[in-house]
Structure 1
Amino acid sequence: MMRVLPKSLSGRLLVTAAVTIVVALVLASLAIGHILERFVMNGLDERLDAQITLVSRAIGPDGTLDASRAIDIPPFDRPGSGWSWEVIGPASRLRSASLEGADLAPPRGRAGPLFGRGDDDHPHTRERPRPLDGFDAQGRATHYRMATLPTLRGDAIVLAAGPRAIVERPLRAAMVPLLLSVFLLGGFLAVALVVQLRIGLRPLSVLRQRVADVRAGRVRHIHVEEPTELLPLVGELNALIDANEKALVRARGHVANLAHGLKTPLAIMKLDLAQKTGDTNDQLHSQLERMEGQIRHHLGRARASEAGGMTARLLLAPRVRDLSDALARIYGDRLIRPIIDIDPTLEVQCDSQDLDEMLGNLFDNAWQHAETTVRVGAQAVDRTIEITIDDDGAGMSPDRITDLNTPQRLDVGAGGNGLGIAIARELAELHGGSLVLWQSDLGGLSVSLGLPGGAP
């Protein structure tokens, strides 16, 4: 398929503006030509109507024609001039001297629109003359004006004719400078258009240079003050720069956490190998599992950080019930009673695996420390879904809750529920959410997980 518009923005603007200018100039030329034709034609009609007024005085009320009252004004008195008139009465005719006794050739063209009735310019005139177009006896294009005057013996018809060349000659003479003026105007508009495009698109070149400066590290953000139409785009670019910086900080944090998390197991393995005690294999196996967990966790965070993670709209209630049923079977010997109060229509915007990991870690902690009851609820607050998990276990001290509410390395407090909560918090923050702990009214720990709800 042929491309109509070029790929470049300047090319598209140039093509569309050029087409618009050409169409506008053509329409303007046609309109001006029509106005000039009407103006010249009105002059011809007025001249013919004046002759009709003069010769209509020769028509008596009884339809008789008085030749002495029919006056020929130049050029109607010159034979071959193309100007002529004729009065056709009920009983006789009068002709202009230019006809030299011959009848006026009747119009053979299509009649123009009739004029409405107007004021009486002559006592016998009942309607204004109407235009007709045709050809004279020599085949020359001729413009006619015809008036009908009622008499006692019937209507009398007055015809006046003039050459259309009197209209066409000045039109041709006027159209040459007109078309030249239109051509010059089009050239001027074309030059103005090119200049306008260069000036108008210059801010895009400046913006490109600012982005190049950010990429090269010379500046941190893009700073432009005009034009105002580009300011929203600049704001989005700066937001993207900030988001990329945060992603880079998180990536560096993942590397640091991974290195720090592997440091201790490696040191222990080194000591165990040096000592070669009897339980070395069991200890090595434990440390290897710990290292494998650290690697698996940080690889998962790296996947979630790519391009903001793969998110979807997920119904919350079915996943909560599936996890609750699974943990009820795992901890079947403890007879934990789950209480779930979640609207079945609530949705969260989150990666499916990350949601299962967050809920799985938090539910597992609740089931481990609960005495008899785990309560799970959720509600929509603005565009956030707040998921609350409470247990009736022994709970935690306020200092410990404060420590867990403070961001820290994932290997800190790796035992117990510290690592699971830290992983859940990091996943929630990657999705634009949050995680907060406090004392539950059931006596144990209350965890509030906030995730985006609905469409992003």
Structure 2
Amino acid sequence: MIHSLHFRLAAGALVAIALALTLVWAVLSHLFTDYLADQYSNEMTSVMDSLAARLSVENGALELKNEPADSRFQIPAGGRYWQISPDGNEEPLRSRSLWDEEITADDLSKDMYCGFRETDGPDGSPLLVSMKTMALGEGDAKKNFTVYAAFSKPEMDAALESYHRPLRLMLLSTGGMLLLAAFLQGWVGLRPLVRLRDRVADIRAGRSSHIGTEGPSEVKPLVREINLLLSERETAIERARARASDLAHGLKTPLTVLSHLVEALPEGQRDTALQQIELVRQRADRQLQAARMGVEQMATTSLLGISGKLVNVLTPFTEEKGIDWHLDIDPSLTVQADPADIAEALGNVLDNAVRFARTRIDLSAGRSQDDVVLSVSDDGPGADPESYNLMLKRGVRIDEGTAGTGLGLAISGDILEAYGGRLDLSASRWGGLQVKLMLPAMAGRPPAIA
């Protein structure tokens, strides 16, 4: 199935122009052919009538007082021919141009060519022949005869070709100009859709909230429907934000009460209960963050800016462990995503690197085909390649002796997937873990979470 409007319009114009020009060719060619045939037919009729007027009967035989003055009749194969064939066994009278050739009714073709019958001329080229049966005298002296007038068929073909050649050039030039006009018409006609696409892109990027109503009348109903859809979406966003806020406030009080209640428990049970309460609080925060992903406005996020802020926050912890940071990020490198989402996804990965790194953490970013790749590498103990898939699952910790909930990488993966990206794990060149956060260079808007 063809999805391009440009191609459909061009194909439709090509078919319509081809059909129209073919029809014009057929009509003009037929009209000129009929006109030319009429001219030759009138000329041959005039020759036959002129010959008949110059005939007389002398001693029972036909005699021609004088021949037509056209010099072509006097030259062998001169292009014009005449012959008078009396009934009976009398020798026919004929022009010198026929030389020794005689035109007979039996030799004439059965099929007509532009109203003429065809036969071979003295030089072997075809002749087009007109014929007329006449009579001269009365009573016993009446003589019946047939008059033939002919001309060269190549002469008529050459006349037709001399007309068709410029006609073909004219129609081809006209077709080319019409195709160009059709292309320009399609390009100009589809410009409002291009502008509409740009306005929708501005809305998706958070630079605008609605589409302007200016434009062609054919596009205005679509614009109106899109604006109504955006209004309904804004209403749904506000409701989602309100529900998220209500949920956040609703969880704070029960969790606080539970935290106070467990203080009365024995020490071992209290620590376990507090750990579980904190886990519930963290999971609730994660879910609220995920809910906000679907309703936040898109923005252009600088990877160097967001990375620098996270590194500044984590630097006090890495200084205590003697870990050095190495950043290599182009200041102009950006992604179209909410800064909070990128901070959440990158922060989880950096937190994991800080926990396991020994002396260094490398943070770099670059482009790979259509993706922006943010890479975090450390020189920690790393992990077996067989365990990479497990590390991306929720609640799974490879090293049970370390703190954490096992949710960080899984949450980062969820955030990237919401933007059409992914998380990739591999071994770093120092033997630790390398985590690549891949996002489309033009990330799409994350889907709303119901």
Q: Structure 1 length normalisation: TM-score?
A: 0.48
Q: Structure 2 length normalisation: TM-score?
A: 0.49
